[in-house]
Structure 1
Amino acid sequence: MGLVCALVYLLAVVNFLPFAFKRDIVEVTSGAGNKDRVLEAQHIETGRFLHRFPLEKLASYGFAYGTLASVTILGILDDSFDMRWRHKFFIPAFAALPMLALYFVDFGVTHVVVPLPFRKYVGGELIELGGLYYLYMAAIAIFCPNCINILAGVNGIEVGQSVVIASLIALNDVLYLLPTVHQPHPAADSHLFSLYLLLPFIGVSLALLKHNWFPAKVFVGDTYCYFAGMVFAVVGILGHFSKTLLLLFIPQIFNFLYSAPQLFALVPCPRHRLPRFNARTGLLEPSVATFAEEKPLRPIVGGVLKLLHKVKLLRVQVDQNGRVTETTNFTILNLWLVWRGPLREDRLTVEILTMQAMVGLLGLWVRHSLALLLFSADNRF
């Protein structure tokens, strides 16, 4: 049902555009019914004053729409043909190329502010990254869709984490639009753009979550994961707060780094790593990867796994010779079950989403309060 969710969202965005540009449309259509307005003779031949319409703002919606539609097609292909992970990993970056081109011609800022303690070493307040900044934004376009797809496997987790992240981004947007902030704020339009894209996304996601919550009646598919992740990448890049966006993805970043040994084949990775359902107890338990004696782990890898077991980041089993024969899979869902013990599926989802919300709120507090220790000012003010 992720495809239905994405299509309803795209339709909602198209129908909303006249309302987003209502004031500008009124201006270029002779007052929208203002019959008392008098046209000068020199204006009669030129028609409407389209040069007054903010086409650069409309372009952001157009390129965002094209990017989201492209990544939705990727999700459809993945759900239909079960594409290999290594084949589809980089495709979101190609879908984001028009968006990066728009960033280049419309905004083009590629410098970052240097933290106060390091300015004496780089010789200034700003450091210019040039093309590296575009590689960084392309990496965000790759990471966001794939990280939602990696943190998956139990009812409600994909949609739930997306709703939490979208709500936190919307909260950050509202902080720039409050009356306590001097208006018009230079970033107000960017954060309004973000809100305009996020609110319909939250709406369709809540509708999908109702049917995907435990016990789920529908599955979301890879289409929703790619579509949801790209919504976040679009608002972060075109809203010009991509670095703040990463603070809200800390659990996903941890999950990706934690999964890396299996994703990059340092440790054998089974086809599916979702938690295992125990039919006798009705609870979820950590799923495991096993290593046959014919294909043992390399000694150094086995030693690292034993060390992770000691610090409670894994659960491993060894034979009488000390060889690792089994380990829990490298996902945050399995790790949570290692820490908390077997849980009901809905309880696991609730606890992960609560952790996501708490870490996200902490990230926003760091961004707007603790960051003042490293930077001279918060750009909200």
Structure 2
Amino acid sequence: MHTPNVLTWTETWRLLLLAGAGLGVLVNTFQGDGAPLIASIALTCISFAVAFSMIRWLGPVFIKAGLKGKDMAKPKKPEIPETMGAVCAVVYLLSLIIFIPFAFYKDIVAATSGGGNRDVVIGDQHIETGRYLHRFPHGKLASYLSGLLSLQSVVILGIGDDLLDIRWRHKVLIPAFASIPMLIVYFVDFGVTKVVVPVPLQGYLGDFIDLGWLYYMYMAAVAIFCPNAINMLAGINGIEVAQSLVIAVLLLFNDAMYLAPITPYPHPATDSHLFSIYFLLPFIGVSAALLCHNWYPSKVFVGDTYCYFAGMVFAVVGILGHFSKTLLLLFVPQIFNFLYSTPQLFHFIPCPRHRLPKFNAATGLLNTSVTEWTIPPSPFIAWILDLLHTLRLVRVTKDKDGQIIESTNLTILNLWLVWMGPMREDTLAWHMVGVQVLCGLLGLFIRHRLALLVFNSDNRTLQFMV
């Protein structure tokens, strides 16, 4: 399959119009009052246009450099560019850097010209005493830069993984190293390790319980889980980017619920959710550009870099935005996929290098991939597999002596094929997107409605004490 490396005239003009409109809004915003949200939306449009173009142009360059892979779910198994997630990650990081003056525009103006008035020049005597100087929010800037540094670190480590093809057991802790800057700033700037105790347990444990260093272990675990969870739910065209986009849009919807007029201002969580929005909007832009090339039939592969980068974006907004538990409610399919895969990940059941569904060239459909048992499983493992087979959670094949010789690989993609039967690759991808959307909406419903059964109130109803 030929991978196009040039933009059509229609694509060129559309992208130029989009980028031009974004640039115009950006300049106008900077000339005005520096509204950060408008600037972030404009940068999102520019990021989409730049990422879309760069992916198209750099395809042949990546292939020439050996960054390519075979699409195993196609009849001719074409070679297409890989590691294109790195292109998106670089565009995203640059957009976050460019956004810094807009995010702190009012604070910069206030700190340099007196109370936000451009026409006021503060005299030396005022600078010495500091009576009229605006106090710059160094804490917010530190959080922003720590998130940016963690993302830069994970992108570097992800590119290293794509180049060196590191084994899973060696690379699983890669995000932990990238999360160190973020956790240090959390400790210095915020440092809250208390969690609210559910109402039924408050009589025994009190209203709050301080987890101390365990809370930092929990946040590190979130930073490790999110990138690896995206990486594990993979194997068909578009699935990594599509699931990430769904999670990002649902997080954006959750953030919007804390903004006026939905939630009256001022609200203690508004700034945290604006912080999340500023990180999510350009991510949605570059991911949408990548999905245009990665959706079935895929013209590029995203590589492990994108999975690490996407997962770390979610970890950053969840941890520094102080809603990591809400984040995990949107990762229900990924959590299920991890738990379901555990027997293979820890080698209780043989685990092949790749567990993606198997393409049947005769039918053009995807079938379940299997693990072959060259040595019969132990009686206990065989009993577990028989039980899972009865519950339709796995499919086993036995020889004439009743010994298990094959069992389906333990991934959510294979499980879906066990339930639904063989299907086209794009159909399977759409089914997974639907599952992600439904589980995400259910997660938000649990967070803002069912949680009231065990907690006194939803934090959206809280107001600043005046």
TM-score by length of structure 1 reads 0.96
Residues in 1 aligned to 2:372 and 2:439: alpha-carbon distance in whole angstroms: 33
- Correspondent of 2:408 among 320, 328, 345: 328
Question: Which residue pairs with 1:116 in the alignment?
Answer: 199
- Correspondent of 1:160 among 209, 233, 242: 242
Q: Residue type matched to 1:68 in 2? A: L
Question: Which residue pairs with 1:368 in the alignment?
Answer: 448
Question: Secondary structure, in 3 states, of the residue corresponding to 1:325?
Answer: strand
Q: Is the CA contact (8 Å cut-off) linking 2:231 and 2:307 kept in structure 1?
A: yes
Q: Is the CA contact (8 Å cut-off) linking 2:236 and 2:425 kept in structure 1?
A: yes
Residues in 2 aligned to 1:286 and 1:129: alpha-carbon distance in whole angstroms: 43
Question: Which residue pairs with 1:144 in the alignment?
Answer: 226
Q: Residue type matched to 1:13 in 2? A: L
- Correspondent of 1:203 among 285, 290, 294: 285
Question: Which residue pairs with 2:385 in the alignment?
Answer: 305
* Residue 90, structure 1, aligned to residue 173, structure 2: yes
Q: 1:49 to 1:216 in 2, by over 3 A?
A: farther
- Correspondent of 1:57 among 110, 120, 140: 140
* Residue 188, structure 1, aligned to residue 188, structure 2: no
Q: Residue type matched to 2:451 in 1? A: A
Q: Is the CA contact (8 Å cut-off) linking 1:315 and 1:327 kept in structure 2?
A: yes
Residues in 2 aligned to 1:191 and 1:35: alpha-carbon distance in whole angstroms: 28
Question: Which residue pairs with 1:317 in the alignment?
Answer: 397
Cα deviation 1:221-247 (Å, max 9, x = unaligned) = 000000000000000000000011100
Residues in 1 aligned to 2:130 and 2:99: alpha-carbon distance in whole angstroms: 26
Q: Is the CA contact (8 Å cut-off) linking 2:356 and 2:369 kept in structure 1?
A: yes
Question: Which residue pairs with 2:307 in the alignment?
Answer: 225
Question: Which residue pairs with 2:294 in the alignment?
Answer: 212
Q: Is the CA contact (8 Å cut-off) linking 2:115 and 2:134 kept in structure 1?
A: no
Question: Which residue pairs with 2:26 in the alignment?
Answer: none
Matched residues, number = 378
Residues in 2 aligned to 1:38 and 1:45: alpha-carbon distance in whole angstroms: 14
* Cα drift, residue 47 of structure 1: 9.8
Q: Is the CA contact (8 Å cut-off) linking 1:29 and 1:48 kept in structure 2?
A: no
* Cα drift, residue 84 of structure 1: 1.2
Question: Which residue pairs with 2:63 in the alignment?
Answer: none
* Cα drift, residue 166 of structure 1: 0.4
- Correspondent of 2:110 among 22, 27, 30: 27
Q: Is the CA contact (8 Å cut-off) linking 1:153 and 1:274 kept in structure 2?
A: yes
Question: Secondary structure, in 3 states, of the residue corresponding to 1:289?
Answer: strand
Cα deviation 1:320-352 (Å, max 9, x = unaligned) = 222111001000000001111111111100110
Q: 1:313 to 1:46 in 2, by over 3 A?
A: same
Residues in 2 aligned to 1:180 and 1:268: alpha-carbon distance in whole angstroms: 51
Q: Is the CA contact (8 Å cut-off) linking 1:155 and 1:346 kept in structure 2?
A: yes
Residues in 2 aligned to 1:300 and 1:221: alpha-carbon distance in whole angstroms: 37
Question: Secondary structure, in 3 states, of the residue corresponding to 2:142?
Answer: helix
* Cα drift, residue 35 of structure 1: 6.7
Residues in 2 aligned to 1:59 and 1:205: alpha-carbon distance in whole angstroms: 26
Question: Which residue pairs with 1:263 in the alignment?
Answer: 345
The runs of 5 or more residues in structure 2 that have no matched partner are: 1-83, 462-466
Cα deviation 1:114-164 (Å, max 9, x = unaligned) = 111222232x11111111000000000100000000000100000000000
Question: Secondary structure, in 3 states, of the residue corresponding to 1:86?
Answer: helix
Question: Secondary structure, in 3 states, of the residue corresponding to 2:407?
Answer: strand
* Residue 174, structure 1, aligned to residue 252, structure 2: no
Q: Which shifted more, 90-99 or 189-198?
A: 90-99
Q: Is the CA contact (8 Å cut-off) linking 1:30 and 1:48 kept in structure 2?
A: no
Question: Secondary structure, in 3 states, of the residue corresponding to 1:326?
Answer: strand
Cα deviation 1:31-82 (Å, max 9, x = unaligned) = 6996742534413668998762111111111101110010001111111001
Residues in 1 aligned to 2:121 and 2:254: alpha-carbon distance in whole angstroms: 44
Question: Secondary structure, in 3 states, of the residue corresponding to 1:259?
Answer: helix
Residues in 1 aligned to 2:413 and 2:437: alpha-carbon distance in whole angstroms: 16
* Cα drift, residue 372 of structure 1: 0.5
Question: Secondary structure, in 3 states, of the residue corresponding to 1:127?
Answer: strand
Query: Once superposed, what is the RMSD of the aligned Cα atoms?
Result: 1.7
Question: Secondary structure, in 3 states, of the residue corresponding to 1:284?
Answer: strand
* Residue 42, structure 1, aligned to residue 125, structure 2: yes
Question: Secondary structure, in 3 states, of the residue corresponding to 2:459?
Answer: coil
Q: Residue type matched to 1:8 in 2? A: V
Question: Secondary structure, in 3 states, of the residue corresponding to 2:113?
Answer: coil
* Residue 9, structure 1, aligned to residue 92, structure 2: yes
Q: 1:45 to 1:110 in 2, by over 3 A?
A: closer
Q: Residue type matched to 2:432 in 1? A: I
Q: Is the CA contact (8 Å cut-off) linking 2:110 and 2:134 kept in structure 1?
A: no
Question: Secondary structure, in 3 states, of the residue corresponding to 1:29?
Answer: helix
Q: Which shifted more, 353-362 or 295-304?
A: 295-304
Question: Secondary structure, in 3 states, of the residue corresponding to 1:215?
Answer: coil
* Cα drift, residue 175 of structure 1: 0.6
* Cα drift, residue 23 of structure 1: 1.1
Question: Which residue pairs with 2:43 in the alignment?
Answer: none
Q: Which shifted more, 353-362 or 88-97?
A: 88-97
The runs of 5 or more residues in structure 1 that have no matched partner are: none
Residues in 2 aligned to 1:110 and 1:357: alpha-carbon distance in whole angstroms: 31
Question: Which residue pairs with 1:242 in the alignment?
Answer: 324
Q: 1:39 to 1:74 in 2, by over 3 A?
A: closer
* Residue 134, structure 1, aligned to residue 134, structure 2: no
Residues in 2 aligned to 1:159 and 1:92: alpha-carbon distance in whole angstroms: 18
* Cα drift, residue 220 of structure 1: 0.1
Question: Secondary structure, in 3 states, of the residue corresponding to 1:52?
Answer: coil
Residues in 1 aligned to 2:258 and 2:433: alpha-carbon distance in whole angstroms: 25
